[in-house]
Each structure stands twice: as C-alpha cells, then as structure tokens.
Amino acid sequence: MEFADGIDKSYVQHPYWLQQVNQVKENSIGGGHGKPGILSITNMPHQCGEKCMTNNMRKKPVQITVTEKCNLKCIYCYEHAKDCGSLTIDKVKSILVHELADPRFDELEIDFHGGEPALAFDVIKPVCEWLWSEPREKPYLCFASTNGTLIQGRIKEWFRKNAKRFWLSLSLDGTREMHNFNRSSSYDAIDIGFFREMWPKQTVKMTISPHTLPNVAEGIKHIHSWGFELTANLAHGMSWPSDLIGVYRDELNKVADFYLSNPQHKPCRIVNFDLKKIGMESLHPEFRKLRRKWCGSGDPMICYAVNGNSYPCQLFAPSSTSANVDSVAERWDFTDIKNFIDPNCKGCCLDGACPTCYGMNYFESGTLHTRPKDMCPFLKCEAFATSYLYGMMLANKARYPIVAELSDADKLGYVRGIEIVQRELADEVMGY
Ligand code: SF4
Ligand code: SF4
C-alpha cells in the first residue's frame, strides 16, 4: 500500500511514541475515562448508544429509567421487564438534586431512559420544567433515546419548543424494510424529518440484526440520505450464524466504498475501528497502563432503575438482568481496569482496540470481561474494512477532511494500525 505525502513510517522510533510513554509515566494511571494529560481513547459501539462515553471525567452520565414500558417489541431487545412501573416525579427530582450536588463532577448528562421514554412524558415534562425554572449548581444536558413513534401532538410540540435544551436521539435501523423487520413495523409511524429538523447534529442509532445484515450498506446509505450521521452496531445477545461472516465482510467493503465516494460523511463505527490503539502495547510495556474501560459503566456512569436503586448502567438494572446485581457491584470494582481485560484476547492483534459491552458480557458469561468469541470474525471484518478505508483515505488525504485534519502523530498511529491489521488479518478475513 502506498501512502502519499511522505508519512514517516519509522513510527516506532518516532518522538510521538516516546512522548506518549513519558506522559504515562508522569501521570497517575487509573481506570475509567480519560484524565487530563493522558492519551485520549474514544469511540466504540455501545448498547447504550454511546451516551456513557465522555473524555471528561468531570462530566457524569446519569441515566434515569423513567419507565420500563415500551409500545414496540424490537427483535433484539434485552429488556425483559416491560411493565414494572415508573419513577414518580418527586423521586426523579430528588435523584437530580442529589446528582447535581455531587462535587466530583462539573457537568451532568441526564438521560431519561426507557423502555420508551415518551411513555413517561408526564414525568419528563414537569421534571424538566422544574429543572429549568431556576439556575442549578452546574451545567447539564437533558437527553433521551426514543423509537420516535410517540413523538406526536402535544409531545412533539413540547420537544419542538425545548429542542435546544432537550435532545432526542432516534433509533432507526436502515431502510423501511430493515427497520420494520427489527422494530415492529414502525417506520411509517415516525416523523423522521422532525428529528432531522430539530437535532441535525444528533447521530441516529442503527442496530443490525442477522436478518438485516445482508443489507447493511443500503441501510447506512438510507440513513445518510436523510441527512443524519449515525452509530451502528451488531445486536448483542443474538445468535450470529457463521455463514453471515463473508456476507458481512462484503457489505463492509460496500460501506467503505460509500464513504470513499462521500467524503462529507463521517464513517460510522463499523468501519471506524480505532486503528491507533492496535498493537500499541507491543511498542512499549508502558502502553499497557494506557488501557482503560471501553465505557463509563459504573464509573462515572450511574443508572437509576424504576425501583429507585442505582446500578452501573442500564444493563445491570433488574429490567435487563436476572443476576443479583448488588453482588456484582460488591464483587467487581468498576474503577479497576484489571477487572475488564479479557485474558482470552491476549495474542489477538485487536486486543486493546476491540469493542465490548461489559453488561452484555455479564449477561452471557457471568463475568464483566469475557467477550463472546462467536463475534470475533465479525469484529475482524470490521477492523479489516476500516484498514482499507483509512488506507485509501490517507493515500488521498486532500479529498478527505477526516484524515486531512489529523495530527501527524495520529496519522502515524493509523498507518501503524493499518499495517498490522492488513498483515495479521488479510488471509483470515479473505477466507470467510
Ligand atoms: S476479535 Fe475476539 S479475540 Fe480479538 S480482541 Fe476482539 S474479542 Fe478478543
Ligand atoms: S456496559 Fe453499559 S455503559 Fe458500557 S457499553 Fe454496555 S450498555 Fe453501555
């Protein structure tokens, strides 16, 4: 592969890496999200739609499950309790008073979580109007993910009026046919244009099921054609037949080619593996200390369930798991990165860069760290497609703002990741 513009490929000795090692040595190292001065590592697919992510330890994501009820039956839904009640207005207010007073954080991201949160509109509206009625101790953003079908009439008008201080994120699974298969034939019940008009910068969440996988590229093009950027991920907790691996590889190639032809769009996560993280630990043992959790579950994120108790994130709440979550919290220190590293990934070139969801891991294996290995071939296809996409963009970077704006140091990281992925995975991925 040829890289234009004289990228220095002697990256292993490059001052960037030495500088990063020194930075590690100079800073105290801990789990959780980025701390000032430590190499920033972000971007992974989240069952929670990435609301748990922040590079700023001083910003706390607070999930409040305002209802477990939902009006749809999506085929991959992991919430088994759909009618266990709702939090009262007073209880939500008391949670917010408590969280706003937490001196460890400078900002809150308040996620009114469901079920379908619009079913708890009569809780959300008075709580927000109370919140907005006077100055609070710190800045906050109100947010909810919705299936969109109930954003109509008075609910829609309220969100229109408050769109600058309450953001809605839409779940949309691709074309009408894909969405309808996954999400209870609900495509035509959503005013998609309303979401585009009100929150043009908010990403749409696309979940891929085994049935919709063969049309992933069409689905992604469809969502971009509405004017949205998107996050996409394979649904967790489903069975993924091995005969879909080659299909996925070919779809990912189409997705990469779409982004090469449409440089105005940011590539979505399934072709946007964090190549900079690949193989870092082989450069210097100190890089192992840069490992951090993939998400904010349990630290700094907190999730309040309808019973009023708090959990590391929604996946540990009783609506999602039948496990004794209190013992999970006692057993596992969510601030200690050692509890989140899967020893079975050692030796894989993607170790350290591979996405995961600790809640789903716990669901499936009873540990936070054990990743479902039936997903490995799919993840390798994603990393391989990413290496193709970024290799092509770096070779023609004047055309692609997303790489043209990278620092030289980041370009070096990408080049190194591309080389490792191409060398280690080409035979395996092309053989599927
Ligand atoms: S592809 Fe599989 S073995 Fe490799 S890091 Fe990811 S989960 Fe671990
Ligand atoms: S463990 Fe929770 S916070 Fe982390 S990715 Fe999964 S759903 Fe999101």
Residue 12, pLDDT score: 39
Query: In angstroms, what CA-CA distances link 7 with 275, 322, 383, 391, 410?
Result: 16, 52, 21, 12, 11
CB count, 10 Å around CB of 291? 19
Q: How far apart are CA 24 and CA 423, in angstroms?
A: 28
Q: From first to last of its 432 residues, what are the pLDDT tens digits of the chain?
A: 444 444 444 443 444 545 554 554 444 233 232 222 222 222 223 445 444 444 455 899 999 999 999 999 999 987 766 566 678 999 999 999 999 999 999 999 999 998 999 999 999 999 999 999 999 989 999 999 999 999 999 999 999 999 999 999 999 999 999 999 999 999 999 999 999 999 999 999 999 999 999 999 999 999 999 999 999 999 987 889 999 999 999 999 999 999 999 999 999 999 999 998 887 777 666 676 677 888 889 889 999 999 888 889 988 888 776 555 566 666 778 888 888 889 999 889 998 889 999 988 988 888 899 999 999 999 999 999 999 999 999 989 899 999 998 888 788 888 889 989 999 999 999 999
Which residue's CA is minimally distant from atom 6 of ligand 2?
357
With CA atoms as reference, report the closest residue to 38 among 51, 52, 56.
Answer: 56
Q: How far apart are CA 308 and CA 303, in angstroms?
A: 9
**In this structure, are residues 306 and 258 in contact, taking their beta carbons and an 8 Å threshold?**
no
To test the pocket of ligand 2, the residue of 295, 311, 368 to mutate (highest count of ligand atoms within 8 Å of its CB) is 295
For the CA of 63, the nearest ligand? 2
297 lines ligand 2 (CB under 6 A): yes
**In this structure, are residues 86 and 69 in contact, taking their beta carbons and an 8 Å threshold?**
yes
Residue 330, pLDDT score: 66
Which residue's CA is minimally distant from atom 3 of ligand 2?
297
Residue 336, pLDDT score: 86
Residue 329, pLDDT score: 64
What is the CA(124)–ligand 2 centre distance, in A? 23
Packing angle between helix 408-431 and helix 376-395, nearest 10 degrees?
130
Query: In angstroms, what CA-CA distances link 120 with 126, 144, 186, 302?
Result: 11, 11, 19, 20
Q: How far apart are CA 174 and CA 221, in angstroms?
A: 8
What is the CA(140)–ligand 1 centre distance, in A? 36
What is the CA(233)–ligand 2 centre distance, in A? 13
Residue 138 CA to chain centroid, in angstroms?
Answer: 25
To test the pocket of ligand 1, the residue of 376, 381, 421, 432 to mutate (highest count of ligand atoms within 8 Å of its CB) is 376
Domain residue limits, the chain:
59-279+377-431
357 lines ligand 2 (CB under 6 A): yes
What is the CA(61)–ligand 2 centre distance, in A? 12
**Fold for the domain defined by 59-279+377-431:** TIM Barrel (3.20.20)
3-state secondary structure of 61: strand
**In this structure, are residues 302 and 60 in contact, taking their beta carbons and an 8 Å threshold?**
yes
For 137-287, list the strands marked E by DSSP. 140-146, 166-170, 204-208, 230-234
Residue 318, pLDDT score: 80
What is the CA(344)–ligand 1 centre distance, in A? 8
316 lines ligand 2 (CB under 6 A): no
DSSP 8-state symbol, 271: G
Q: Label residues 198-234 b or e (16+ Cβ within 10 Å = b).
A: bbeebbbbbbbbbebbebbbbbbbbbbeeebebbbbb
Whole-model pTM: value is 0.86
To test the pocket of ligand 1, the residue of 275, 354, 375, 432 to mutate (highest count of ligand atoms within 8 Å of its CB) is 354
Residue 53, pLDDT score: 46
Residue 3, pLDDT score: 43
Residue 1, pLDDT score: 42
**Which pair of tokens denotes residue 178?**
């894909």
What is the CA(183)–ligand 2 centre distance, in A? 21
The percent of the chain in helix, strand and coil, each rounded to the nearest 5, is 45, 10, 45
Strands 59-65 and 302-304: parallel
**In this structure, are residues 35 and 280 in contact, taking their beta carbons and an 8 Å threshold?**
no
